[in-house]
Structure 1
Amino acid sequence: MTDEAIIRLFAFLIGVLTLATLGGAAMRWRYGRTDGIENFQHRTYAWWVMVAILTLAILAGRALTLALYAGLSALALYEFLRQRPAEIIRTPTSLAAFAVVIPIQYWLIWVEWYGLFVVFIPVYGFLLIPILAVLQGKTEGFLHNVSEIHWGLMLAVFSLSHVPALLLLDIPGFEGRNILLLAFLVLVVQSSDVLQYLWGKAVGRHKLAPSVSPSKTVEGLVGGVASACAVGAFFAWLTPFTRFEALLISFLAATMGFFGGFVLSAIKRDRGVKDWGVLIPGHGGILDRVDSLVFAAPVYFHFIRYWWSA
C-alpha cells in the first residue's frame, strides 16, 4: 500500500506542477513579465524543489533522510546567523552550534531517544550556549548574541528536526509508512502558503499587520487555511487519520505554519532584509522555504504522538 500511495501522490503532484509550469509560461508569453506572474512562477519552481527533496527523502531511507535534514538545518542556521557581524559566526559558541548541537540532535532521532531529543536543545543547548559565550570574556552585547544563537537553534534545528522525527513514531497499523506523514505535513503547510497568497491577491482587503508583512491579509489567512484543510481532507488516504481528523490536523498545521512565516517576517523586518538567502533563485533561501514548517512541525509531531502513537 505504501508504494501505491506514493505513486498516486507523486503522479498528482507532478501533474499539477506540470500544468502550473505550462500555465505560468503561457501567461508570461501572453501578458509579458509582471510581478504577479513572476511570483507565481517562482512559487512553482520552489514547489519543484520541494518535490525533489521529498523524493530524495522517500528514496534515500532513514539514514540519508536524517543527513539531508541535518544539512538543511545547518544551512538554515547559517542563514539565520549570517546577517550578524562575521565574528559572531566564527566564535566557539557558533561553532559548537554547528559541530556539536546539530549532529547530536539528529543522532538522537537516529537512535530513537525521544526523551532526550525533545529536551536536548531547549534545556542542555540553552545552558551550553551562554556557558561557552561567557568563557570568551566579552560582555558587550552578550545577551543579544546568545539570544540570536538560541533562536537560531530553536528554529533551524530543534523545530525543523521534528519533520524527520516523524519517522520514529510507532503508529499501530501504519508501520513502515511514516514517510507519508512527512509528505502530508509538507503538502498541507506549503499548499497553505501558496493558497494564502492566491486568496490574498484575489479578495484580500484587510491587512493583518502591514508593518510586518504588507501582503498578508485576513482574507488570505482565512481562505488559505480553509483551502489547506480541504487539501488535507482530500489526502487523508495518505495517513492513519479519518477524513475529519485530517481536516482538523490540517487546520492546526496550516494555522501554525502561517504564524511561523509571520514571525520570521517580523525578524527579517527587524534585521532590514528581504530574504534569508539566495539559494533558490528569486525565492530566497532555505529558511524562506521552511519558515512555515518550523512552527507547524513540532505541534504536528506531538499531536500525532499523543493521539496515535503506541
Structure 2
Amino acid sequence: MSFLAQAPRALEYALIAVFCLLVFASTTIALLARRYPHKNWLELKLRIRTWWWIVVVFVLAISVNRTVSLLVLSFVSFLAFKEYLTLVPTRREDHMPLFWAYLAIPVQYFWIWDGWYGMFIIFIPVYIFLFLPMRMVLIGETRGFLHAASSLHWGLMTTVFSLSHMAYLLVLPTDATGSMKGNGPMLVLYLVALTQLNDVAQYLWGKALGKAKIIPKVSPNKTIAGFVGGAATTTLLGWLLGPVLTPMSPLYAATAGLLIGVTGFIGDVVMSGLKRDLGVKDTGDLLPGHGGILDRLDSLTYTAPLFFHYLRYLYY
C-alpha cells in the first residue's frame, strides 16, 4: 500500500497546493514573456521547468510504498555524492576505496528500510570512517593521504549521512496504539517545504532590504536582512504549518521553523565555501536554471539531520 493512500487529507491538499503554485508560476512567466518579449525570461523558464521535475520526483519519493520511496531518495544521495566527487580531486590509486564509498550508500538506506536506528546512526560516522582510511593505507600510497581520506569522508557525511535523515522520517516508529505520532510523508513535506521556502525568503528579503553583507568573502550576495528576514519568515511558516503537517504544538513548530531558517542558511553558505575554495560557481549542470543537485540540496544537508533529531527528541 502506498504512503499516499494511508496519508491524511492534509497531505493531499498540501501537494495539490504545491502543484497549483507551479501552475501559477508557469502561467505568470508565460504571460510576462508575451507582454514583455524584449526581456530575457530564459533563466526563469528553466528554473520553473526544473521545479516541475523536482516536485514530480519528490512526490514520487513520498507517495509510493516505503521501498520505492527509499530507492528514490538513495538515488538522490548517489547523484549528490557523484557530483561531489566530480568537484573534489581524487587520487588514481583510490578506485577501490571509492567503490566501497559508493557501496555505503545502499547499505545506509538498507538500515533505514529495516528501521535499525542504531546502525543507521553510526554506520557512516563510525564504521565507514574507520574502514575507508584502512583500505586506503593498504594501497601503500601516502602522498595526499590526509586530503583524500578527509575529502571522501566529508562527502559521504554530507551527501549520504545527512540527507538520509530525510528518508528516515518516512519510517519513524509507531506509538503504543499502532499509529504514527507524525505521518512520515507529511514530516518530509514540512522539512523540504520550509527549507526551500527559506531559501526563497532569504533571496527576496535580501533583494528588497539587503545592504549590509553578512559574510562577503564566502557568499557576496548574502545579507543580514536576507538572513534575518528569511529566518523570521520560516519561523512564521513553521508555526502555521506545524500543527497541520506534524505532531508538533504551535510553539515547538515555530521553534522548528527557526531551526530550519538558521541552519538552512548555514548549509547554503557552507556549500558556497566549498565552491569558492574549488573555484566553481555551481556544483554541476544537472538542474537547468539551478546548477547542480548540490546547489539545490545544500540547505538540506544541515536542516534534515537537525530537524530529524529535534523531532525525534520531542516525540519519539
TM over 0.5: yes
Residue 131 of structure 1 deviates from its aligned partner by 0.7
Question: Which stretch of the first structure deviates more once superposed, 247-256 or 84-93?
Answer: 84-93
Which deviations, in whole Å up to 9, do the C-alpha atoms of 1:196-236 show, x marking residues without a partner?
11111111111111221111111111111111122222222
For residues 93 and 110 of structure 2, the distance between their equivalents in structure 1, rounded to whole angstroms, comes to 23
Provide the C-alpha distance between the structure 1 equivalents of 2:36 and 2:259, rounded to a whole number of angstroms: 38
Which residue number in structure 2 is paired with residue 298 of structure 1? 305
Query: 2: CA distance between counterparts of 1:89 and 1:266?
Result: 27
The answer for the alignment partner of 2:216 in structure 1 is: 210
Contact 2:47 2:288 in 1 (8 A): no
Tell me: CA distance 1:31–1:208, structure 2 relative to 1, closer, same or farther (3 Å).
farther
Distance 1:5 1:22, change over 3 A: same
Return the match for 1:121 from 109, 121, 124.
Answer: 124
Aligned-partner Cα distance in 2 for 1:34–1:89: 50
| C-alpha deviation, 1:159, in angstroms | 0.2
Partner of 1:94: 98
Q: Which runs of 5+ in 1 are unaligned?
A: none
| Alpha-carbon displacement from aligned partner over 1:220-264 (angstroms, at most 9, x marks no partner) | 111111111222222220111122221110110121111001101
Q: Which runs of 5+ in 2 are unaligned?
A: 1-5
Identity over aligned residues, as a percent?
42
Match of 2:247 among 234, 240, 248: 240
Q: Secondary structure of the residue that 1:119 maps to in structure 2?
A: helix
Q: 2:3 is matched with which residue?
A: none
1:169–1:178 CA contact under 8 A, matched in 2: yes
Give the alignment's TM-score, normalised by structure 1: 0.92
The count of residues paired between Structure 1 and Structure 2 equals 307
- Letter of the 1:8 partner, please give it: Y
Query: Is this contact kept in 2: 1:89–1:95, CA < 8 A?
Result: no
Alignment check: 8 A CA contact 1:81 1:89 kept: no
Match of 2:7 in 1: 2
8 Å CA contact 2:90–2:148 kept in 1: the answer is no
Asked if 1:273 corresponds to 2:280, the answer is yes
**Aligned pairs for 1:256-271 within 5 A:** 256-271=263-278
Residue identity in the other structure for 2:183: R
Alignment of 1:169-208 (within 5 A): 169-170=172-173, 172=175, 174=180, 177-208=183-214
Q: Does 1:286 align with 2:288?
A: no
State whether residues 88 and 145 of structure 1, in contact with CA within 8 Å, keep that contact through their aligned partners in structure 2. no
Alignment-mate amino acid for residue 75 of structure 1: L
Give the TM-score normalised by structure 2. Answer: 0.90
Cross-structure match for 1:58:
62
Structure 1 residue 86: Cα displacement: 6.3
Letter in 2 for 1:55: V
SS at match of 1:47: helix
Alpha-carbon distance in structure 1 between the residues aligned to 2:68 and 2:261: 27
Letter in 1 for 2:23: T
More displaced 10-residue stretch of structure 1: 122-131 or 54-63: 54-63
Contact 1:192–1:228, Cα closer than 8 Å, also in 2: yes
Change (3 A) 1:88 1:17: farther
Aligned-CA RMSD value: 2.1
Q: Which runs of 4+ in 1 moved over 6 A?
A: none
Deviations 1:2-26 (A, max 9, x none): 3411221012111222222222333
Contact 1:73 1:156 in 2 (8 A): yes
After the TM superposition, which of the residue ranges 108-117 and 85-94 deviates more from structure 2?
85-94
1:38 CA displacement:
5.5
2:63–2:185 Cα contact (<8 Å) kept = no
**Would the aligned equivalents of 2:218 and 2:276 in 1 still touch at CA under 8 Å?**
yes
Q: Is the contact between residue 82 and residue 89 of structure 1 (CA under 8 Å) also seen in structure 2?
A: no
Question: Could you say which residue in structure 1 is the equivalent of 2:225?
Answer: 219
Q: Distance in 1 between matches of 2:191 and 2:44?
A: 22
Report the CA distance shift for 1:251/1:112 in structure 2 as closer, same or farther (over 3 A): same
Q: What's the CA shift for 1:138? A: 1.0
Change (3 A) 1:34 1:137: farther
Deviation at 1:54, TM superposition (A): 2.2
Distance 2:113 2:288 in 1: 33
Amino acid at match of 2:139: Q
Matched-pair contact (CA < 8 Å) for 1:43–1:194: no
Match of 1:133 among 90, 112, 136: 136
1:167 corresponds to 2:174: no
